[in-house]
Chain A
Amino acid sequence: MLYLNEPAPAVNSLHINSQRTVVVFCNDCKLPVTSSAKVIRSTDPAIADQYGLLRSDGLVGPGYAVITSTGVVRYRTFDPAPGQHSGEIDRLVRTLP
């Protein structure tokens, strides 16, 4: 469910422009493949914290956030293997503006 609805944090740091974006937070996980959105990786703990994807032990993710072309974050979740869940992520981003 796309339950979030607020401006995405750190859009400039993440170089997010006006296209649907999946920000994957992890150090060395495989990235998901989708033709419906730009996929970028972030390993920055400060940004991960803003997305609620910094673990209590200080590790980044693994997880991802889904951002609309208008810069609104609509979904974020921890995910142990985003690269293996391209289908799910693609379904999410295809519904976005």
Chain B
Amino acid sequence: MKWFAEFSRHHLVTTSVILIFEILFYRQYAHLGAEFHFWLHGLFGASIGLCALTIWQLCTKRGSRLSGWEAGALGHLYSAIPDIIFVATGVLHMYWMDILALHISIHFIPSPIATMLAIFLLCLLSYVLVQGKYRWIGCIVLGLAGVILAVALWHRQPIPTTLQQVKHQTVKYSWLCPMWDTDSH
């Protein structure tokens, strides 16, 4: 129970807030028929958060006030900004939104969810290893996550601009997840 004793009130509060935030977020996506987007951007956003935290710890060689949970949730929030903007204001997705955690491009990588899950697990492992003072192994694992992302992006399908391209697009899943009726909110 030592870990529990070390779990400060601050972390207890933020963990609760994050859990509630993620559950509400998931319900919103599910209501729009867009669970696929929740997992895709959630996993990649959490990976970015954990990656940033790990790099911070590697560079500064000291702990951060942020926990892995908090960094992951902030990353998720960052990667979901285009979806939040769409639901809140009706602004459609545009190519420039790739600056927000590759929000468009990651739909077109091979096996998007499986790839993002692999990247997330590697980032999580890297974070845990660096926390446990296995810094070099943590660096290697983080680098491996980066390589997987680079390879996945290299092999991503081009975004179709014609109906002919859509018909021959083999990545169908990204288009089978419309955002349902948004004016009911």
A residues near B (Cβ < 8 Å) are 1-6, 9, 50-52, 73, 76-79, 84-88, 90-92, 94-95
Contacts and interface: CB of A to CB of B under 8 A. Distances in A.
A90 B183 CA distance: 9
For the residues of A in contact with B, the DSSP-based class is: mixed
Nearest to A91: B90
Q: Interface size bucket, B side?
A: 20 to 34
Contact of B182 (A2, A91, A95): A91
Contacts of A52: 163, 166-167
Q: Which of B104, B162, B163 has the most CB of A within 10 A?
A: B163
A4 B104 contact: no
Interface string B152-185: 0000000111110011000000011011111110
Interface in B47-93: 90, 92-93
Contacts of A77: 175, 178
Contacts of B161: 3-6
Contact of A91 (B92, B104, B167, B176): B92
